[in-house]
Structures are given as C-alpha cells and as structure tokens.
Structure 1
Amino acid sequence: MKSKDILSRVFEITRDPRDGLLFLKEFQSLSPESFAILYADSETIFESSEALFSDLKLLYQLDLFPFVVLEEDSFQYLKVFFPLEQLNPNPSDDRSLGFSYEIIPREKPLLETVKSTITKKKIPILLWNDETEKLESVLDRCRSILNSSKIIYVSIDGPLKDPNSGKVKSILQMENHFSIPSDMSITDSQKEFVQLSEALVSKIEDPKFSIVLTSPFTLLTELFTVKGSGTLVKRKNRIHKFTSTEGVDMEKLFRLIEESFGKKLKQSFFDTKFDVLFLEESYRACAWMQKTEFGYLLSKFAVNGVARGAGVGRDIWDQILEHCNPLFWRSKPDNTINKWYMSIAQGIEKDESWYYYWLGVDRPLIPGIVSLLQSQPEDFESKKP
C-alpha cells in the first residue's frame, strides 16, 4: 500500500485530515523511539487484539513505531492464536499481526536496542511480568530512557465517562491527585489507569507529558485528532502573566503566533507592544492583550495546533476573563474558532472582512469598539496564491 493510500485510510477512520496531517508532522519530528509508549492489558489482547493490531499496522506503515509493553501472558496467547513470524510477517494473512516486530531483551541497554530495532523497521515489544517489576516502574523507566512524553493505556473498557451524561471525560488536569466521583463506576483496568496517572503525572515535571486511556477500536482517533477518543491526564497547564517583555523570549513568541495562524507576521507587528501577555510556560499558547479606552483588545489568541487537544487554550481564556474586562476582539470569517467565539461572546457584528465580538461591554460603547476594531491594521502578510 502506498503512503498516500495509507494516509487516506487513516483519515477515513479519523475523519479529520487537516488535524491528522498536523499530528503526523509532529510525530515525525520526534526521534523515532520517543513517539509513544503503548501498554495493552491482557484482557484487551485476549478480546480485541485484531482491532489493536490493525491500527498498529497502519502506524507501522507510516513509519511510526510505538514502544509496546505487553504482559508475558498476553504474548503466550498471541503465540498460540497468531503466527508470530518476527522476520517476515504476511500482512495479507488474517491471522498475522501485520507488522514486523522484535522482542526487546530486558538485559540489554534499552535505548540502543530500541533504536536498533526501529532502524530495522520493526516495532519494539517489551514483555512485562508483574512479579519482576511493577507496571508504574516499567512505564516510568522506559519513558525516561526513551525520552517519550506520551503513554497510551489501551483497554477494552475504554475511557472514563461522566456518570450523568455518559460523555467521555476527555481531559483531566491534576497537580498531585484527582478524585473520582463517588457515583462513578469504574472497572479494574480504569482504576489501574487512575492510579498510574496519579503516580506518574505527580512526579514527572515535563509539561508536555500525558497519559491517556483509550479503546483498542479508537487508537488512531486518539492519536490523530484534536478531540481525541480517550481520557487524557496531564499536569495542570501553567500560564504566566506578563506586563512587559522581561522574561519573554520574543522570537519564540512570534514563531508561536505565526505557526498558530499559518501566516507570516508583517514587520510592523514586531514593533508593537502588549499591555498584558498570557503565555503557557512551554510557548504552546498565548494571548496578546492591548489596553484601550474601551477595555482590553485581544489582539492575538494563538494556540499551537497539537496543544489544542490539551486544554491549553481554555486555560488561557480563563485567565483573560479573570484579568481583562471589558473584552473585545475580531476574527476572520473563515476562522474555524468562530463557532466557539459565537457561543461565548456577548454580541457580534459582521462585515465582509471581519467578525467583531465583545464581552462584558456596556451597550453605548459598542459602536466605538466596532469602529476601533475596524481601524486595526492587518498584522499578517497575505498568503501567496
């Protein structure tokens, strides 16, 4: 299957080609061994290994090699029910794993062995035994050595769900621990995921680190869409407030804005100043605010594409609402965020070039605010046809 056909198949499953390409580019920019650590419990392997291996096969065909951790019992099951030809798998065989793999010997240096395995175009698999080492220790040790910021826990039980609405709890942010509502019924694997999350997130300082619980039937959707398909647990996003450029890497800030909007800033914008800047500590999102006679103008609200699924933009927005009132801003009509803006704004006016929004504004001020927004210069270069 050609790369284009593989991508088409992935995007057919995820129904999200634009964000899918964004995530694929992000994954391919990482060192191959750092892509992700994937753990599947034995029940998942016993009941839905074919679904899981189907998605792993597509990742394999995209040259993405997750580091897979399986229980020894799971692997014994696979040896019975699947022909495990490590060197020459037959993708057309319904009983084949569909990809080449290599078992990683525990006694060999992990990093060098995994790199060697991936160089040979094989997915590295580590067999784990609870009596030898606890799962938390295995995952943390491998994550640290492979420098990976993503752990995927695959369970047939799927993600955590709200007991009242039945909707997936997509993001849980925590500092030291989080509590599960008393009326929420969770399975043993979900309980293990919660315990792992608390243990790992509380001690791993990397703000990009996350651990996610998802189903073997929705692995690709979890990886290649902003919305995802599972319950993602991460550290609470750390948002800093600045009133001057001191302590701000302006080059990184401007690069964030350009990458978020997909356009180059005009030279004139580099000479402008913010009155208030809200900035995520890893430069994944920011809000550039300017104080006016009518209140605060949100000049730029930029969120790194990959960070959109981690709740960073929402956390910055909460900071804006807390510190900057009244508030107003504008957005291009084709901006995909307009649907959300319309849901939270107090009011809106439109013309051919812009949508104008405001929040917490007294009615007599609206004409002046719209006039001010209309007078603002275009800060981005026009895209070349």
Structure 2
Amino acid sequence: MFFKDAFSLFLQSIGRSDEIDFYLKKFRQSSHQFAVVIPDLESMREAGDLLRTHLHFLGRLGLFPSVLACAPFADELASVFEGDRRFRILDIETLGPGPAEEGREIAVLKSKAMLMPTIFQKGPAFANRFHLVRMAGGIRSPQGDKLFHCSPDSEVRKEDQAILALAGQLLQLHPQLHISVTTPFDLLKEIFTVKGAGTIVRHGSSILHLRNSQEVDAQRLKALLEESFGRKLKDPDLLDRISDFYLDSRYRGAVLLEAYKGLCYLSKFAVGIQARGEGVAQELWDAVLRSGQPIFWRSRRSNSIHRWYERLADGFHRTEGWTVYWKGIGPDRIEEVISYCTNRPEDFSDFSLPATGSPESDD
C-alpha cells in the first residue's frame, strides 16, 4: 500500500491523471513487449540507481520494459543491474527469435554486437517503443532550443547529430518505431505524459488539404472528432459547412475551417488520442499557415491547450466561457470575431463519451 500511494503521488507530480491513466491502459493492453530502454554509458555511471528505481516502478505497475546493453560497453552497462533481484541479465545471442520471456523481472539484454547490428538481427523481437536515454536529454536546434519532436533530416546542433543519425537508422530499419530521446531523470514523464520530457524522432506526416467534403472519409473524420473531443457531434451537417479540410493522411489529426466574411473560422482542431505528443498538431498548423488566410477561433477557458494557442495567435480575448484567438486579422474586426465566437452555438452534445484522454481543443 505504501508503494502504491507513494507512486501515485509521484505520477501526479509529473503529469495529469487522465494522461497517466490513458497511457497505463494503453501499455497494459498491448500484446507486444512494452518498451526497450537504451541507456548510454554516461547516464548509467551518473544516474544508474535512479534509472533502476524508475524501471522498478514500471515493473510494479505491470509494465516490463527491456534494457538493451550493447558493445563496446555491454558488460559495464549490465553490471549496474547485477545483484538486483528485480532484474534478469540475459545474453541476447542465446535468445530465440521471439521476445525475451515475460516474467515479473525486467530483462537486461546484453549483446556482444554494436547497437545497430543487434537491432538488425533482433528487431522483430523488440517492442515498438525505443527510449534512448542520455544525460544531455532531448535533441536541440542549432540555436539551442528544445525540440519536442523532429524528423531524421531536421537541422540540429552539432552535438546531437550522432544520436539523430542513430534514430534515423532505426526508423529506416523499422519505420513504425516510436523513438524518443530523454534523460534518466525524466524517463517516466516521457512515457506517461502527452508533452513528454524529451524529443520524439519520427518521419513527418503527410498533410492533405481538401476543399470538397465529398473527398473526405466522413466516417473516419467524425470518429476522430468524437474521440478527440470526448463528445458526440449533434450537428449532422457540420462537415457540409467546412470550406477547408486539413487532414493527416491517416486521419490522426484534422483542422477544419469555415469561410466567414473574407476570414476563416477555425471550427475544429483535433488530434487523435494515440497521436498526441507526436507533433501532428504542429504539422497541421504549419500547413494552415502556409495558406496565408486570416484565422480566428475559440477554446473553452478550461482547455489545457490554451498556452499553446496563445503562442500561435497574434492576440486573444477571454470571455466568461471562452477564449477567442485570432491571427492575421486587423484591429477593426476584432470586436466582430469576438462577438461571433461568443454567440456561436456548440457543435457537440453535452454528455461525454467513455473514451479517455483530454481534447486537443474544445467547442
């Protein structure tokens, strides 16, 4: 009971309970091995005890990642876990073609080969989540800014080029991998929160721009909207009013615009629960910005995404129930768009769906 209470408090300190509950459920339901943690030598020398503790926490939650220790430092990396009954050190060369046998211990997989040959030979046996752990943490831009997500061909500072190249090679071998770069201090926050505490490396999304609702898979789009907002659409004609559809090609995210007197009202900004924290929202927004259209939108005052919206907008105004945002709109029309947003009816029913996860935006 002490562990459960203490760890619950710890999880609450790193993120919102609905996010943590969602990821716990997601990982526990997965038929695949949970994750592979790949620490570098410096992180094990400087924070090995902490990393062991965090991995133990995961095991107590019923999540059993593997730790991968490859040449040339496999013995030293694995030695950090020696004598700890919560971990089981295995020579990866002796394992069969499947994943390491699941049990109540966390497997430390020791390889005589370097990382890439090991992944190449055993890749299908590993989980689809790889966490690269290093003291320097996430990847940064050439200007030193933190990158919450990037692609293998992104421009990064010189000292991060090697780890980005490694992530790119991993994605080339297995394109569906979830790869993140974080610190041993922030591993749990990276795993259990949408925003994370590191950098996700992935190939960019394909964003479609459609202007005809007949080109849209209405069933998939409505399912995305209802999942994202956690409520049922009550207006069956919503999509007929949309002038511009910006869609992730796999329907993991969408921005829907309505024409309004020479402006664009951003009716819906939605990202599916599974895709949150991967940069899909920013990719959609960048596609919208390339159109150069003046845009305004609203969001509930209680929406946790408001700080991001404030960074996107040229300005915003708070009313009793809404915050109204605008970009590219002159001061002579600000009062008009605030009035429109304040008086516009809602598009969703009041009752909630059983789906978990917080909405990307509200209406």
Q: Same fold (TM over 0.5)?
A: yes
1:1-385 pair list within 5 angstroms? 1=1, 4-5=4-5, 7-12=7-12, 14-33=14-33, 35-71=34-70, 76-77=75-76, 84=83, 96=84, 99-101=86-88, 103=90, 106-111=93-98, 113-114=99-100, 117-118=101-102, 120-130=103-113, 134-146=114-126, 148-161=127-140, 165=144, 167-174=145-152, 177-181=153-157, 184=158, 186=159, 192-202=162-172, 204-206=174-176, 209-246=177-214, 248-268=216-236, 272-323=240-291, 325-383=293-351
Structure-2 change in CA distance of 1:347 and 1:108 (3 Å): closer
| Whole-Å separation in 2 of the counterparts to 1:31 and 1:81 | 29
Structure-2 change in CA distance of 1:8 and 1:297 (3 Å): same
Which 4+ runs in 1 deviate beyond 6 A? 78-81
Query: Deviation digits for residues 328-348 of structure 1, max 9, x if unmatched?
Result: 112112112223323332343
| Whole-Å separation in 1 of the counterparts to 2:134 and 2:61 | 23
Q: What secondary structure does 2:202 align onto? A: strand
Q: What secondary structure does 1:310 align onto? A: coil
| Whole-Å separation in 2 of the counterparts to 1:193 and 1:57 | 26
Shift of 1:313: 0.7
CA RMSD of aligned residues (A): 3.1
Shift of 1:372: 3.4
Structure-2 change in CA distance of 1:302 and 1:72 (3 Å): same
Structure-2 change in CA distance of 1:333 and 1:44 (3 Å): closer
Contact 2:132/2:181 (CA < 8 Å) preserved in 1? yes
Q: What secondary structure does 1:11 align onto? A: helix
Q: Which residue number in structure 1 is paired with residue 361 of structure 2?
A: none
Q: What secondary structure does 1:201 align onto? A: helix
| Whole-Å separation in 1 of the counterparts to 2:136 and 2:308 | 31
Contact 2:299/2:324 (CA < 8 Å) preserved in 1? yes
Q: What secondary structure does 2:232 align onto? A: coil
| Whole-Å separation in 1 of the counterparts to 2:104 and 2:80 | 24
Shift of 1:30: 2.2
Structure-2 change in CA distance of 1:15 and 1:297 (3 Å): closer
| Whole-Å separation in 2 of the counterparts to 1:60 and 1:53 | 11
Q: Which residue number in structure 2 is paired with residue 87 of structure 1?
A: none
Q: Which residue number in structure 2 is paired with residue 88 of structure 1?
A: none
| Whole-Å separation in 1 of the counterparts to 2:310 and 2:77 | 51
**Identical amino acids, percent of aligned pairs:** 28
Shift of 1:237: 2.4
Number of residue equivalences:
352
Contact 1:6/1:61 (CA < 8 Å) preserved in 2? no
Structure-2 change in CA distance of 1:350 and 1:65 (3 Å): same
Contact 1:328/1:369 (CA < 8 Å) preserved in 2? yes
| Whole-Å separation in 1 of the counterparts to 2:59 and 2:205 | 32
Contact 1:46/1:74 (CA < 8 Å) preserved in 2? no
Could you tell which deviates more after superposition, 251-260 or 69-78? 69-78
Structure-2 change in CA distance of 1:103 and 1:382 (3 Å): same
Structure-2 change in CA distance of 1:110 and 1:61 (3 Å): farther
Structure-2 change in CA distance of 1:339 and 1:258 (3 Å): same
Could you tell which deviates more after superposition, 50-59 or 343-352? 343-352
Q: What secondary structure does 1:8 align onto? A: helix
Query: Deviation digits for residues 6-40 of structure 1, max 9, x if unmatched?
Result: 6514415524434322322332332241x222212
Q: What secondary structure does 1:52 align onto? A: helix
Shift of 1:312: 1.2
Structure-2 change in CA distance of 1:26 and 1:270 (3 Å): farther
Query: Deviation digits for residues 44-92 of structure 1, max 9, x if unmatched?
Result: 33443211110100111111121321137766457767653xxxxxxxx
Shift of 1:295: 1.7
Q: Which residue number in structure 1 is paired with residue 356 of structure 2?
A: none
Contact 1:41/1:154 (CA < 8 Å) preserved in 2? yes
Q: What secondary structure does 1:110 align onto? A: coil
| Whole-Å separation in 1 of the counterparts to 2:171 and 2:328 | 37
- 5+ residue gaps, structure 2: 353-363
Q: What secondary structure does 2:351 align onto? A: coil
TM-score by length of 2: 0.83
| Whole-Å separation in 2 of the counterparts to 1:9 and 1:349 | 35
Shift of 1:154: 1.6
Q: Which residue number in structure 2 is paired with residue 89 of structure 1?
A: none
